[in-house]
Amino acid sequence: MRLFVAINLPSEIRDAIYADTAPLRAATSAVKWVAAPLLHVTLKFLGERSDLLLPDLENIIRIVSARQPALELRTTQYGAFPNFRRARVVWVGMTGERELRALAQDLDQMFEGLGISSETRVFRAHLTLGRLKGEMTPHDSRALAEAAALPREARSFAVRTVDLMQSELGSGGPRYSVLASAPLHARGP
């Protein structure tokens, strides 16, 4: 099973973020854009794992979620890894960087006990909007950067759960399903 741990967004927020990216999508055809129903924040990619590991994974997610606070997040600027000139991934940032990083690191440390390697890259709070299909021309790079700089509304949403997700790859693109969901710790009064 191909698995990852994610924060799923409410459907109306996913749809609004997707609609907001229309200028980006119009700027270049060199990017394969993520469909609205697939937008999520990846906390940890687990890769191919045996279904025998599911109870342990679910337990870790439950333990970590119980000690991490529920969050209120808001989208910020558009960006690209490593940058718009050499974009490989186009993303939208979000507030809550410190809290999301703590959550991702806590999960990472707990998964090490199952023999799952730790992340080598520093966690950056973002929502992947698209991945480059091939090479992007300098004109496409400029057009994408200009579209990213256009004003747009920030999208706010509550994060109350962490989800264990399965990704099934197919000819029509990936299909995601929630295998388990664990509530984050409710904030006190």
Q: What is the CATH number of the domain that holds 103?
A: 3.90.1140.10
Asked if residue 179 belongs to a domain, the reply is no
Mapped onto helix, strand or coil, the DSSP state of residue 108 is: helix
Residues with Cβ within 8 Å of 64's Cβ and at least 6 positions away in sequence, in order, are 103, 106, 107, 110, 162, 182
Asked if residue 57 belongs to a domain, the reply is yes
Across 148-157, b (16+ Cβ under 10 Å) vs e yields beeebeebeb
Task: Report how many domains make up the chain.
Answer: 1
What is the per-residue pLDDT for 187?
Answer: 61
Asked if residue 59 belongs to a domain, the reply is yes
Asked if residue 184 belongs to a domain, the reply is no
Asked if residue 119 belongs to a domain, the reply is yes
pTM for the whole structure: 0.92
The domain in which residue 63 lies consists of: 2-167
Asked if residue 158 belongs to a domain, the reply is yes
Are residues 41 and 7 in contact, defined by beta-carbon separation less than 8 angstroms? yes
Which residues of the chain fall short of a pLDDT of 50? 189
Asked if residue 61 belongs to a domain, the reply is yes
pLDDT digits (tens, 9 = 90+) for 36-51: 999 999 999 999 999 9
Residue in 92, 85, 167, 177 with CA at minimum distance from that of residue 128: 92
Where do the H-state alpha helices sit in the chain? Answer: 11-20, 22-27, 54-67, 97-112, 138-148
Give the up-direction half-sphere exposure of residue 67: CA atoms within 13 A in the CB hemisphere.
12
Asked if residue 175 belongs to a domain, the reply is no
